[in-house]
Structure formats: C-alpha cells, structure tokens
A and B are shown apart, each in its own frame.
Chain A
C-alpha cells in the first residue's frame, strides 16, 4: 500500500467511526427525548400522545393522599393556573412536600398523570422552569404545610 492509500484507509475508517456514532446518536434521540411541560401547556393539548414526558409544578396544598399502608400516593401538581392529578407508586424524595416545586416523569392515562419518577431538587426554594409562584406563601400556608408534615410523620 502506498502512503496515499493508507491515508485513504485511515480517513475512511474514521469516517466510518464518526457516522456510526452519529447513527447511534440519532437512533437514541428518537427514543430517549423527553419533553418538559407545565400544567397549562398540558391543558393546551401540547402533551405527546404516546410515551412519557416530564411535568413540572408545585405540589398543591391539601392534595397529598396516601392509601394507608401502600406505596401509592396521589397529589395534584399546579402552576397556579391549572392543576393535574398525579398518581405515583414508590418512594418519594426527601424534599417532596406540599408547596415544593417538583418535576415528575411519566405519561397521561385517562386524565391522570401516571408518574414513574418524582424529582425534587436540592434547595427548598426551587421552582421548575416556567412555574411562577403568584405570591409568597402566607403564614397560614406555612402552618398548614407544617401540620401536614407532622400528620404524615415525616418530622418525628
């Protein structure tokens, strides 16, 4: 092989590697992209018809209900304009509480968001993108949150 041939082989091999990588990337992008929506966008009908997406919002006060003894919990996520009922089975993150901004992942099944994952961030003042709290939480709200925490037994 002459040097020119060798170079050609090298370039072709490298092109092969790169196109393989791009191919993998494109294939994976089709399956692994997740859209992020707020409850208002969901009500505007922007949710993907099939498959999972992410939903951000604030856990509405008075909405957290647990079937005693089971790991299934229901709550509503709100962006202070619209609210979406969510059902989740599993362990909730430590930062999950009423009034906390969280992001859930899952799909809509007959009007209820079936969550497979609940993400709460470090930092209690976190707000998911696109969610704006209309006013700072009142003393009453804080009391309610505290009482609820106590009732749930999170704070021993």
Chain B
C-alpha cells in the first residue's frame, strides 16, 4: 500500500513538473500572465509529491518491507536505524530519488526567492527547472523505479554495501547532490536569459548567489568524499583520479570558473556569453558525471549499479539538453556581445580571464583523461585506462600559474590597472612571501626535500601570504580612517583563496613527504618507520551488531615514549555482506599515523600497512575553509534583491511586442 502511494506520488510529481515546464516556458511567449502564475505553485506541488514519495520509500526502509524489491535488496533489520534511513540513497534507485528531492528543494527555493524578479524571467527559470525535473522523473519511473514489488516477498533483507555504513554516508551524497543539482539553477538562469535575449548586470547579480551556493555544497561534498575514502577504504590515499571522483571534480572546476566570470559580468557587464556557456557546461558536466557513475562504462572502483539501459537514458537526456542549450546559445549569444566595453591588459578582467582559461584547461585535461578510454573503446581500438600519473603530469602544471596569479588578480583594478598601484598593494604580501620562501629553501636543503616539495610549498606560501595580508592591510587602512572596502564578499574571497593555499600545502607535503610500507608481522614484533616504533601487541576476534571480525592492538612509541595505542580492525558483515578494513588513524595537524590490517599470512602472521602522512588534514581543512569563504561571500547584502529596485521588464511592457528586444544593448 505504502509502496503504491509512493509510486503514485512519484507520477503526480512528474505531472507537476510537466505542468511547471509547460506553463513556465509557454507563458512568456504567449504573454499569458495566468500561465506564468502556474509555474510557482506547480513547483511547490512537485516538491510536495516528491517529498511524499521519498517519505514512503524511507518508511519502507525503516519497517523493512521485503515485498518491495529495492528494500529487500538493501535494507536489513540488523542495520542500525540511522543507516536504514540513510540506506535509502545507498544504491541507484534511491539515489535518483534523492536527486529528484534535492532538485525539488532547489526549485522551491528559486520559486520563493524569485518573487522580486521580473515575472517573465522567473517563469522561464522555473520552466527550465521543470524540464530538468521531468527528465529525471521519467528516468526514475521508466528505468529505476524503487517501488517495484517482489512477489513472493523475500524472507531476509540484503545489505547495503558495508563500506557505505558510515556516518559520512549520511552527509556526503546529499551534499554532493546539492552541489550537482544546484548547478542546474545556474543553467536555468542562463537558459532563461538566453531565451529572453537579455543578460545584464542584474541577471549576473541574481545568478551569483545560486552558483555560489551550489559551489559551496559541491566543495563540501568533494571534501567529505575524499576524507571518507581516506579513512574508510582502509588503504589510505584521499584522491585516486578515479572516473567517479573526476565526475564531481570537473563540474567543480567549471563552477569555480563560473563564479569568477559572473563577477566580471556583474561588475563590468563583460564576459556574458562566456558566462552563459560556462553555466551550460557546468550543468552538462554534472549530467555527464551522473552518466559515468550510473552506466559503469569506465573501469572505476565506485561502480555500484551497472545497467547499460540506464546509462543510455541519461546519455540521451544529457545529449538532448546540452544540444538544445547550445543551439539556443548559438542563436542568442550574438545578442549578448559588444557590451561592457573593453579592458586593458593589466586589469582585473584579464586576470579573471586567465583564471578561467587555466581552470577550463585543467578541466579539459581531466575530461580528456577520463573519457579517452571511452573514445578509444568506441572506436574499437581496444580497452585502455589512463592512470593517475597522467593526471598528475598534466593537471598539476596547469594549476601552478593559477596559484601565482591568485595573489595578484584581486589587487588589480577593474578596466585599467596601474603597475605602481598594484605594487603598492601587494608589496607587503610580497615581502612576507619572500621571507617565507627563503625559510622554506633553507628547510628544504636541511631536510633534503625533493624539489616538488619546495616548489609546492613556495607556491602555497604565496597564495597564503597574499590572501592573508590583503584583508589585514585593508583593515589597517580602515582603522586609520582611509577609504578601504572590507565587505563580506571581499573577505569571503580572501578566505576562500586562503583555503586554496592550505590545500596546496596539504597536497604538496602529504604526497611528497608521506611514506608507506606493507610489512609481514606477527604479534610481538615491532616495526620502525619515520621515527615511530609500532609494536604489534595482539590480534583478537571482535564482534559488532551486524559484523564479526578481528581487532589488532598496536602500541606506538616515539623516541622511547609511549605515543598512542591503536586498534585497526577487519570486519565481515552478515548476511553475505563484504569485508571492510577499518584502519586506525591517530593524527593531528602535523602528521597522521595510519595502521591497517592486510591479510592473514598463516602461522599467526598478518600483512600490515603502515602509513606516515604529514599534514594530510590540511587537504580537507583547506577545502572547508574555501567553502566557508564562499558562505561569507554569499552573505553579502548586495545579493538580497531590494524592494525598491525597478523590475527590469515591467509587467506593463508585456502587451506590446517589444521590437527593441533583438537590439544589442550597449
């Protein structure tokens, strides 16, 4: 019964989405205010039915109703309650439900916060979002219906992949989806502006907070995913250049480029067509990500649900939406040209242009490496894979110029900067950086660092110094009573750039100075690595609510003093669940020590992996700082749409056909 209610709610949600897209998109060209007025309630209705349907599925998981196939496959009364709720999105069908729910939430947020926007524009935005929703509703109903009954019902539930049974599972996918799906809002704003042929500073100001919000969620989602793989997969390593990781990283790169180019569109009215293209690309890449994850076309460790039919559907969805958006772009983009005026070579605009070129080049490199195997296979040239060395060799060199420019760009004036003024503003950061770089060189020679470590830390120090000194400088100026702006958005940018510096340091130090060894050991033996002595005390059976396994005890000593006692585990989940390796990690800012159990080797011996990871925590900490910076910028007052602001297309202008619309604005 509950399953049927869920299914009908899902179908009603589809109908609502269809109504939302039809009335939202058809209203403006037919100049029907009433049609346009339907889009907003339809969005509310869509979320209502979607939430109802999602609630039904969650309820089925909680009561473990085994007459529903999806539930029988992934729910189990042995699973803790918490994970039965989170388990809803642990596999394919449920994750599509989550996708739709998140899209519904974004749509309703847009509907709520777009009341002050011109009605034609907000109606089109909701219409485009409705089209996306309809596509995914159809996808879920036709290829991955979670409410399919199982007759006769199963006697025992299956289990969720035990790797997914982790507190981070509860947060990581929703965050990532908020980011992925949030990019569809930027897409909808862009497409709506392209349809109406108007894209001005106001448009950029409306789009910026949505893009920023999506970017924040995407950043947090990626950070959590990386942290999760570090401690949960059991073997260390926080980034593998796996296709699924790349699938979330590519939209992130584009979204980062987009928030920068939107700044130019808002402040200077330039880069508009480029911004529109980025918004389309960001959304297409997030669809592509879904396709890569769901189709299993690439060799990835993440491939959970493999079904070519599903992959095909998403590929068609991706193809149709991107194709239509690009056609629209080609048709309308010429209207957006020649606005905003030119800019000097030394100007904020040109620095942001370089930021965009580098980010997109990086994204292109990742794209090429991720999809090259697919092209080769389609061309019948055999099966190949592109390993992490490719990404390291190509992506990292592209990022270095970006790190160099990041400290300069924010200090250059718009339109035309002057060299002396620029020097005046960056001289303090430059001085601090020079001192830091000298100290690093001395340290590198003493500690015999590889050249990569020195290079990375020197660049990281530049990013940090410039991001830190600039707001302090402004603060001092303000305290002296001189004019200097220190708005939340300026501060947010500095904090986000500071986060980049922290990430650069973390990545550099942990990858170039980290060490790991696999050793065969038996209880009573010790192993010494990087100044720490690991003593294998014992290994004993252990048991949990839905698993059995072994638990080892290692005592770690440093320089003759007891440092810590850790307990790496190996768990086997029942019924027929897999095995997980639960590494023991002790650490802090300076370094992480990482011990994990390998395989029993016979005669009481085990293979043990020891890792020494210096400063690895900075990788995630930096990511979170970036998200924090974004959040601060989001709080800037200017993104709140003011009441006294004249709508840029008054309602009265709806009646006469506006002939001026096709004219390029100057």
B-binding residues in A (CB < 8 A): 1, 3, 6, 9-10, 13-14, 17-18, 20-21, 24-25, 27-29, 31-37, 46, 54, 66, 68-71, 90-92, 94-95, 103, 119, 121-124, 126, 128-130, 152-156
Q: Is the CB of A69 within 8 A of B393?
A: no
Quick one: which of B329-369 are within 8 Å of A by CB?
342, 344-345, 350, 353-354, 357-358, 361, 364-365, 368-369
**B603: A residues at CB distance < 8 A:** 68-69
If A21-B364, A71-B520 touch, does A66 touch B579 (CB 8 Å cutoff)?
no
9 contacts between A and B (CB under 8 A): A20-B397, A33-B385, A54-B299, A68-B603, A90-B518, A103-B299, A122-B303, A129-B383, A156-B572
In the complex, which of the residues B299, B303, B579, B580 contacts A154, with contact meaning CB atoms closer than 8 Å?
B579
Q: How far is the CA of A24 from the CA of B580 in the complex (A)?
A: 38
Q: How far is the CA of A78 from the CA of B467 in the complex (A)?
A: 56
Q: Is the CB of B384 within 8 A of A71?
A: no
B107 at the interface (CB under 8 A from A): no
If A21-B364, A95-B579 touch, does A10 touch B345 (CB 8 Å cutoff)?
yes
Q: Is the CB of A91 within 8 A of B393?
A: no
Q: Is the CB of A21 within 8 A of B598?
A: no
**B549: A residues at CB distance < 8 A:** 156
Interface on chain B toward A: helix, strand, loop, or mixed SS? mixed
In the complex, which of the residues A68, A94, A103 contacts B580, with contact meaning CB atoms closer than 8 Å?
A94
Q: Is the CB of A9 within 8 A of B387?
A: no
Q: Is the CB of A21 within 8 A of B398?
A: yes
Chain B minimum-CB-distance residue to A1: B345
**B599: A residues at CB distance < 8 A:** 91-92, 152, 154
If A94-B579, A123-B304 touch, does A18 touch B361 (CB 8 Å cutoff)?
yes
A-binding residues in B (CB < 8 A): 161, 163, 234-235, 299, 301-304, 342, 344-345, 350, 353-354, 357-358, 361, 364-365, 368-369, 372, 382-387, 389-390, 393-394, 397-398, 401, 518, 520, 541, 548-550, 570, 572, 576, 578-581, 598-603, 605, 607, 609
Chain A minimum-CB-distance residue to B608: A91
CB distance from B413 to the nearest CB of A (A): 16
In the complex, which of the residues B383, B398, B576 contacts A36, with contact meaning CB atoms closer than 8 Å?
B383
CB distance from B459 to the nearest CB of A (A): 17
**B383: A residues at CB distance < 8 A:** 35-37, 129-130
**A92: B residues at CB distance < 8 A:** 598-599
**A28: B residues at CB distance < 8 A:** 389-390, 393-394
Q: Is the CB of A155 within 8 A of B393?
A: no
Q: Is the CB of B393 within 8 A of A32?
A: yes
Q: Is the CB of B357 within 8 A of A14?
A: yes
* Residue of B358, B579, B603 contacting most chain A CB atoms (<10 Å): B579
Q: How far is the CA of A128 from the CA of B299 in the complex (A)?
A: 8
**A9: B residues at CB distance < 8 A:** 345
Chain B minimum-CB-distance residue to A26: B394
**A17: B residues at CB distance < 8 A:** 354, 357-358, 361, 401
**A3: B residues at CB distance < 8 A:** 342
Q: How far is the CA of A13 from the CA of B353 in the complex (A)?
A: 11
**A95: B residues at CB distance < 8 A:** 578-579
Q: Is the CB of A66 within 8 A of B601?
A: yes
Q: Is the CB of B365 within 8 A of A24?
A: yes
Q: Is the CB of B344 within 8 A of A6?
A: yes
16 more A-B residue pairs beyond the given contacts A71-B518, A71-B601, A94-B578, with a C-beta to C-beta distance below 8 A: A9-B345, A21-B361, A25-B368, A25-B369, A25-B394, A29-B390, A32-B387, A33-B384, A34-B385, A36-B383, A36-B384, A69-B601, A130-B383, A152-B599, A153-B600, A154-B599
CB distance from B59 to the nearest CB of A (A): 27
